[in-house]
Amino acid sequence: MTELAPGFLWGASTAPHQIEGNNLNSDFWASEGRMPGMERSGDACDSYHRYREDMTLLADAGLDAYRFGIEWARIEPVPGMISRAELAHYRRMIETAFELGLTPVVTLHHFTSPLWFAQDGGWLGDRAVERFRAYAEAVAPILDGVEWVVTMNEPNMLAIMIGMARALQDDPHAADAWLSPTVDNEGPRPKTPAPDVKIGERLVEAHHAVREVLREHTGAKVGWTVANRAFVGRPGAEEKKRELEYIWEDLYLEGSRGDDFVGVQSYSSQWVGPDGVEPHPPHPDNTLVGTAYRPDALSIAVRHTAEVTGGMPILVTENGIATRDDTRRIAYTDEALKHLRAAIADGADVRGYLHWSLLDNYEWGHWEPTFGLIEVDRETFERRPKPSLAWLGETARRLRG
């Protein structure tokens, strides 16, 4: 049996906009319902009020870590006005995690920003880095005792979302082909654009600025998370693969050098041919978001991340599958963990595994894709744990030894 690092974390992840509900002052809330086929988040899972129940279910299953986010749009609803009540709310979440024996992994930015920030140029605005830094300074005092802090979730995916938003400004008809950036179904939708390198460089700058703030004011390990495509090259496409890896991932992995850890987020793998990334071919095994069933992608992602970062400590901050069939979720996760342990046996320094997601939640414009270990009734908010939650808890107990 592969020996895991001492204190290896076992848990699950969420994002504030996807589960809290009524994130009224955020840019994403303002965009919801404006595009064909886009559903609203609304009350989401009402986790803003039910976070203790969510954490208790996680802890009772035998898991010991919970990744959740702080919502900037709640903390700073208008420029410079910091809500003490909201800071206290998120501090209560942190203290609840401690009380229940959960290690909190806290994310400061998970795709959504205050609407005022977006309207003033967003991440490309002149004061973007300064404003993100000021937000981090406001939040730092409530992070006392938190061991793991993520500055920003998937900056490479955020760069795509920023690019898509700019395209909508230039061509309002582009909205007609809109789909969630996390949905990859085959069909008439345009090919997901690659992240803009210039946007990526700005996000790296912002990450470094906030890393400095957190190191000055907290004792936390600081890093960010990267969406890993787990590219596999066709014969003769090695150079093209390296080119695309830099644009999609390595710019951000290189930006994590000097961090205390890097978060790996992996769901599937994609082939790269001489002409670029190949779309996921239609197949009965494809997930609810159209991606190929590739539990081996986690090992590919971890190995690539370790190589680019020079062996930096890795936290698997997201890994999961969009499916209605929970037996398939268990099978996928079981195989993914076997591949992860093989990567660890080969030298990858992995410190934990956080499943995506704890709850069936709002999937950035859609409710249909279900990633959760827990089903949520969207009218009553009743939580119904799936067999996969107990299975993951039992797996954690067994592998802890």
Read off the amino acid at residue 210.
V
Please say if 238 is a catalytic residue.
no
Running DSSP on this structure, what letter comes out for residue 367?
A: S
Question: Do residues 263 and 150 lie in contact, with contact meaning Cβ atoms separated by under 8 Å?
Answer: yes
User: Are the CB atoms for 233 and 272 separated by under 8 Å?
Assistant: yes
Active-site annotation holder among 20, 71, 154, 249: 154
In eight-state DSSP terms, residue 5 is P
Please check whether residue 296 is in contact with residue 303, taking contact to mean a CB–CB distance below 8 angstroms.
Answer: no
Query: b/e string for 134-156 if b means 16 or more Cβ within 10 A?
Result: bbbebbbebbeebbbbbbbbbbb
Say if CB 18 and CB 361 are below 8 A apart: yes
- In 3D space, the residue among 111, 87, 102 whose CA is nearest the CA of residue 19 turns out to be 111
Report the C-alpha gap between 226 and 263 in whole angstroms.
6
Interstrand relation of 231-233 and 314-319 (parallel, antiparallel or unpaired): unpaired
State how far the Cα of 281 lies from the Cα of 186, in Å rounded to an integer.
8
Cα(281)–Cα(272) distance, integer angstroms: 13
What single-letter amino acid sits at 354? Answer: L
Annotated active-site positions, please? Answer: 154
